[in-house]
């Protein structure tokens, strides 16, 4: 399910970044108040960042990175990956091209069995 910002002026990436902040905060066992204390802001402001209601400034992103002991790039990469739609047609074409390069008939059969087995789940 794609994240959507509660503020129509803000995009899905803002909401996804907020989700990543919330997820990491929870991984660390921090409350919104505890994270806010580390950042010098209120728990309400943390809540607004997590909900995508308020955008995270570059300065605050660096502070969040330090408070959450996670590189800025990782916070943003997670958001980018979540924002990227899965393009099944391109993936299918890549899979088909890679499959066609397998020279061993036995290996092709094994890959086909694996993929067929995964699609049942």
pLDDT at residue number 9? 53
d(CA 10, CA 24): 21
pLDDT at residue number 18? 93
Minimal CA–CA distance to 79: which of 5, 7, 31, 12? 12
Q: Where are the domains of the chain?
A: 12-83, 88-120
The answer to whether the predicted template modeling score (pTM) of the entire model surpasses 0.95 is no
pLDDT at residue number 90? 72
The CATH number of 12-83 is 1.10.260.40
**Which stretch of DSSP H or E encloses residue 81?**
helix 72-83
Q: What is the pLDDT along the chain (121 residues), one digit of tens a residue?
A: 445 445 555 578 888 899 999 999 999 999 999 999 999 999 999 999 999 999 999 999 999 999 999 988 888 875 445 445 556 777 787 788 888 888 999 998 888 888 888 876 5
d(CA 17, CA 52): 8
pLDDT at residue number 47? 96
pLDDT at residue number 63? 96
d(CA 54, CA 85): 24
């Amino acid at each position: 399910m794609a994240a959507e910002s509660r503020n129509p002026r803000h995009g899905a990436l803002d909401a996804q970044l907020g989700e990543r902040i919330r997820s990491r905060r929870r991984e660390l066992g921090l409350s919104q108040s505890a994270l806010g204390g580390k950042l010098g802001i209120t728990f309400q402001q943390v809540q607004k960042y997590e909900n995508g209601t308020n955008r995270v400034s570059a300065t605050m992103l660096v502070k969040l990175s330090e408070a959450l002991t996670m590189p800025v790039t990782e916070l943003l990469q997670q958001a980018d990956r979540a924002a990227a739609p899965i393009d099944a047609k391109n993936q299918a074409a890549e899979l088909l091209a890679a499959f066609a390069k397998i020279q061993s008939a036995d290996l092709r059969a094994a890959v086909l069995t694996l993929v067929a087995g995964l699609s049942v789940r």
